[in-house]
């Protein structure tokens, strides 16, 4: 059995698979589901953890289900995730689909008992244990007008710190070198708890109680939730990796308002200045949506300017995709051609900004974590390639010699 991710590209077909579409959270949940399947001997089914973030994601899902059934008409497919949560009536009718597990209960083992057998099930992950994802919450209380996820995952539910601690220890015992805290909106962690907790609390709690955890990273943060407590934690906790990814979405305040985002462009600039002052080695990443309804050329220009004003280097650019059921789908839409051109233009700019940022590292030494024998990431999540062989999962002091296609090329100086 295999776990494939992102595009859900098909692996050599056999009777059972776990296919994970979409975000890191889905990938993290698919690993947990893999654990259930191993334990319960679920060997005769293929499980797909679906995504509904864009219409394109759902098109790929339907294409995958049809391909799986075409390759093996006896296949038994179980669906879970945001797409099957949103349209169960549509997916249950598809050939090969035998069951749908709700997004809200997909992490309870009891949901899988009916598929259990007494056959042994041994799964390999298909990738070495370097970076593990640790879910700390699910759902979201915000109401961004373009977002379908809040409709498919419900309100913010934070996991209790002891459960998170046990799963962190389990990842370390499995040999993972780095843990990334993930969820739908991790910056809202603890708000629903009594007594209240927050993201800085769980970061400090994990680093205090798992001394073997030397590399802790954060998935996407809502700029509106980055406060002085979190900035102080980023400053003082050395084992917290200096990579901050923010769901910025736009550089125009009117568009941010129409998205129902709770931050302004100036707040992003100020927050990032504060973080850089506290921890100068931080690299910022950001999600940006281009072509949001009513976005004018001038508003788009505001987004372009924000990339440099807020020191954003690692960009994920998303062409706006209308999602039926969201308020944004009812707003006056921008022409598809304009959206495509803006995405292309912003990706080019983002590429140039990253190249400029990477040249700042030439001649310097950095710490890297090897992902395989030649590829690795720096602590701030920059991609590097080694001219000499690396050992997967090992940390190295690494000398940066050159930059090629936005990858730092260099050589290890010593193992850490």
Min dist CB 254 to ligand SF4, Å, is 18
Instruction: Write out the two tokens for 285.
Output: 């990443």
**For residue 243, how far is the Cα from the chain centroid?**
13
User: Could you tell me the smallest distance in angstroms from the CB atom of residue 139 to ligand SF4?
Assistant: 8
Binding site for ligand SF4 (CB under 6 A): 140, 142, 144, 147, 149-150, 184-185, 222
Indicate the residue among 151 and 269 with the shorter CB distance to ligand SF4.
151
Question: Which lies closer to ligand SF4 via its Cβ, residue 82 or residue 213?
Answer: 82
Output 45 or 292, the one with its CB closest to ligand SF4: 292
Closest distance between ligand SF4 and the C-beta of residue 83, in Å? 15
CB of 285 to ligand SF4, least distance (A): 15
**Token duo for residue 98:** 């035998």
Nearer to ligand SF4, 25 or 79 (CB): 25
Q: Which residue number, 186 or 207, has a Cβ lying nearer to ligand SF4? A: 186
Distance, CA of 279 to CA of 209 (rounded, Å) = 24
CA distances (Å), origin 415, targets 168, 364, 398, 402: 25, 16, 9, 21
Pick 149 or 354: Cβ nearer ligand SF4: 149
CB of 187 to ligand SF4, least distance (A): 9
Q: Which is nearer to ligand SF4, 178 or 246 (CB)?
A: 246
Instruction: Using DSSP bridges, classify how beta strands 46-50 and 77-81 pair: parallel, antiparallel or unpaired.
Output: parallel
CB of 328 to ligand SF4, least distance (A): 11
Least Å distance, CB 266 to ligand SF4, is 20
Rounded distance between C-alpha atoms, residue 185 and residue 198, angstroms: 12
Q: Please say which residue, 185 or 272, places its beta carbon nearer to ligand SF4.
A: 185
CB of 394 to ligand SF4, least distance (A): 35
């Amino acid at each position: 059995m295999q776990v494939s991710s992102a595009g859900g590209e098909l692996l050599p077909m056999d009777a059972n698979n776990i296919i994970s579409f979409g975000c890191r959270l889905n990938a993290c949940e698919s690993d947990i589901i893999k654990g259930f399947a191993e334990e319960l001997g679920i060997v005769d089914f293929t499980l797909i953890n679906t995504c509904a973030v864009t219409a394109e994601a759902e098109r790929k899902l339907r294409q995958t289900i049809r391909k799986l059934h075409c390759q093996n008409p006896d296949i038994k497919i179980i669906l879970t995730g945001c797409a099957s949560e949103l349209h169960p009536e549509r997916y249950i009718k598809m050939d090969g689909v035998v069951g749908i597990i709700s997004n809200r209960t997909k992490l309870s083992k009891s949901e899988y008992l009916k598929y259990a057998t007494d056959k042994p099930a041994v799964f390999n992950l298909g990738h070495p244990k370097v970076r593990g994802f640790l879910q700390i919450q699910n759902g979201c209380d915000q109401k961004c007008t373009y977002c379908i996820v809040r409709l498919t995952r419900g309100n913010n539910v934070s996991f209790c710190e002891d459960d998170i601690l046990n799963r962190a220890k389990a990842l370390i015992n499995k040999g993972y070198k780095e843990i990334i805290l993930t969820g739908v909106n991790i910056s809202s962690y603890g708000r629903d708890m009594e007594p209240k907790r927050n993201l800085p609390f769980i970061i400090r709690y994990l680093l205090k109680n798992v001394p073997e955890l030397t590399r802790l990273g954060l998935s996407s943060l809502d700029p509106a939730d980055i406060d002085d407590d979190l900035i102080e934690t980023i400053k003082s906790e050395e084992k917290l990796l200096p990579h901050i990814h923010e769901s910025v979405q736009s550089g125009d305040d009117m568009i941010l308002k129409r998205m129902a985002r709770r931050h302004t462009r100036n707040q992003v600039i100020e927050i990032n200045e504060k973080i850089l002052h506290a921890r100068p080695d931080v690299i910022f990443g950001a999600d940006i949506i281009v072509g949001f309804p009513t976005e004018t050329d001038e508003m788009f220009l505001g987004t372009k300017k924000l990339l440099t004003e807020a020191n954003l280097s690692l960009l994920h650019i998303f062409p706006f995709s209308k999602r039926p059921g969201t308020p944004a789908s009812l707003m006056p839409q921008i022409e598809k051609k304009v959206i495509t051109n803006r995405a292309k233009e912003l990706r080019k700019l983002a590429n140039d900004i990253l190249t400029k940022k990477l040249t700042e590292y030439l001649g310097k030494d950095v710490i890297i974590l090897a992902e395989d024998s030649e590829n690795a990431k720096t602590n701030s999540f920059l991609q590097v390639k080694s001219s000499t062989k690396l050992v997967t999962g090992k940390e190295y002091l690494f000398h940066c010699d050159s930059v090629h296609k936005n990858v730092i090329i260099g050589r290890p100086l010593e193992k850490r």
